[in-house]
Amino acid sequence: MRKGTICTLAAALILSTTASFGAVKEGSFSVTPLVGGYFFDGNKTLDPTMVLGLRAGYNITKNFGIEGLYDFTLRTDGKFSPLEDITMHRFGGQVLYHFFPDNIFVPYVAAGFSGVNFGGDGFDNKDHGAFDYGVGAKYFLTEDFAVRGDLRHIYYRYNSGNNNDMEFTLGAYIQFGAAEPPMKPIVPEPVKAAPAPEPAPAKVVPAPAPAPVPVPPADSDGDGVIDPLDKCPGTPAGVAVDNNGCPLDSDKDGVADYLDKCPGTPAGAAVDSNGCPIDSDKDGVVDYLDKCPGTPAGVAVDANGCAVEAAKRCDNPTVVAIAFDTNKAVVKAKYHDELDKLGSFLKEFPHATGTIEGHTDADGSKAANLKLSQARAENVRSYIINKFGIDGGRITAKGYGSAKPVASNKNSAGKAKNRRIEAAFICK
């Protein structure tokens, strides 16, 4: 009920704001400097950034106009990747259709084609064709000046993948050069003739009722697909969707991109609710790569998930992993059994050497995390040397701070996984 009342009031406001300033003028040119925000497709793991742009247009009629465009995004970095100082240029053109062009408030729809060019670490600096569409509105403050807002969905292909970016902008619309309407010629009043007999009063015909004003279709979940065409209503705001309004699943694993914590999983691979490949027998080799499913837990396996003999285990890296509490370097007693396996391995293979790597989450400064990760690596190294009498020259301790995360640092579960030790040893 409340939503219907608001829509009715909005329609009444549009109908009542008839232009006192002239609004959109046929044959006028326009220029619009603008600023706004740009959201990249999740496939590129780039942070949202500010966009600066310029539009130059011509109104062919009051309803139809064309525009040239240029956009430039400020430098941005990757969310979970080493990408840094990435910029994007976009240039092209678009067609606009104005609703109610004689009003002060003029909504419109727009669509066009442009080229996008990414510059920076990991990008090819080449032009890629892009299709964009969206909605906007102009609110005239004077006869030739209006405040303008726009929302665009930008679709293009990059590295054989589909990309769906979103852009919103606010700018100052300035129009000029419209031809003045021709003046009506002055016609002298004719000489009055003798009054004719008064005709019979004409029958009064009531004026026809005004036609209903069309209202643009609503987009309730704000995903860029209007409700009549949206086959997945209620999609969370900001999620990339296809033309049907359904969340994208780029790797076709049945888990939408915005929920997929393991993007790029090969098609057909069995995955869990996070989109990550399943390892049914817990041997460290996921099912779609495991050529020996059902290997008993604890049995050493090769890269294919098949059991290997003890004599062959020294040909492959031996890896253990333990976790730490926040800002702590103490090895907890529950991990002694795991470290004892490593000590037994080094006793069994006296020529095996390797490195113990210390890691932290992203909390705290880089210098403090580097020092903490080194302390964690040194404590594990000392434990192995002291308990098993291993030559210290065979074990190297190296701290990496927060430089090598294995999970997101934006939640407590991911941070816990990143506070860890990884020890890799091989036989010479």
Query: Side chain identity at 417, as an amino acid letter?
Result: K
pLDDT of 16? 42
pLDDT at residue number 313 = 57
Confidence of residue 32 (pLDDT cuts 50, 70, 90): very high
What pLDDT, on a 0 to 100 scale, did the predictor assign at position 12?
41
What proportion of the chain, given as a percentage, has pLDDT over 90?
A: 38
- Residue 107: pLDDT band (50, 70, 90) is very high
More confident residue, 298 or 31: 31
Look up the CATH architecture of domain 309-428: 2-Layer Sandwich (3.30)
> Taking the domain 17-179, which CATH number applies?
2.40.160.20
**Mean pLDDT value of segment 161-179:** 90
Kindly list the domain boundaries of the chain, sorted by start residue.
17-179, 309-428
pLDDT of residue 186: 61
State residue 17's pLDDT score. Answer: 44
pLDDT tops 50 at residue 19: no
| Beta bridge mates, 293 | none
Neighbours of 298 (CB within 10 A): 8
Quick one: pLDDT at residue 371?
Answer: 94
Which pLDDT does position 310 carry in this prediction?
47
pLDDT confidence of residue 187: 64
- The yes-or-no verdict on residue 325 having pLDDT over 90 is no
How confident is residue 320, by pLDDT bands cut at 50, 70 and 90?
low
Minimum mean pLDDT range among 121-135, 277-291, 343-357: 277-291
**What is the average pLDDT across 225-252?**
86
Would you say residue 267 has pLDDT above 60? yes
pLDDT band at 351 (very low <50, low <70, confident <90, very high): confident
The model's confidence at residue 40, banded by pLDDT at 50, 70 and 90, is: confident
Region 21-46: mean pLDDT is: 86
- Between 146 and 309, where is the model more confident? 146
